[in-house]
Amino acid sequence: MKHRLHRGINRLIRSTRGVAAVELALLAPLLLILTFGSIDVVRALRDYNIVSKSLRDSGRFLARVPIDCSQAAGSRIPAGLQTMARQMALTGKVGASPAQAANRLVEYWTDENSVAIQVSCVTNSDANNLCGGVGETTACRGDDQIPVVQVSADFAYVGTGISLLQLTNMRIRASHSQMGIKE
């Protein structure tokens, strides 16, 4: 009896049946976390790219409107045009309402106030870093004052909820600076 018990234990120790199931049970949770975490990270990068491009378009839109450098910094671009630029950043279209979900580029980016618009004016002689190449001292063509529009956004990333990484504290921050364009 002792010999049969010993032989049964040895057979059990050498048996490889069920090893694959045990390995899968150990690795499956880790693989699922990595898969769904990757989906969330890729989605956040995609959203950042969309926001960056929409801010660039919004900055280019504002760079083409008349900007008066002689006025105070907050009133160089009319409020109506600033509102249009904010809506353009959120929707990709001029005049589209971000309140409608179908219009938004990023479904959870709804707050127009998350888009900041700043206008600074540099003197043409100080604009060498904007117009000249590296080491050049070429002044820009045009007026003595050159407007530079900066459009930026800062808002919380909303994850898919399927990720166990819980990217709840992540924020999307992007900005674009554009020199004024006179046509």
- pTM, rounded to two decimals: 0.75
3-state secondary structure of 168: coil
Cα–Cα distance for residue pair 157/159, rounded to 1 Å: 6
DSSP states along 130-149: HHS-TT--PPPSS-SEEEEE
Residue 30 has pLDDT above 70, yes or no: yes
Residue 143 has pLDDT above 80, yes or no: no
CA distances from 156 to 62, 84, 98, 111 (A): 25, 22, 17, 11
| pLDDT of the residue at 2 | 66
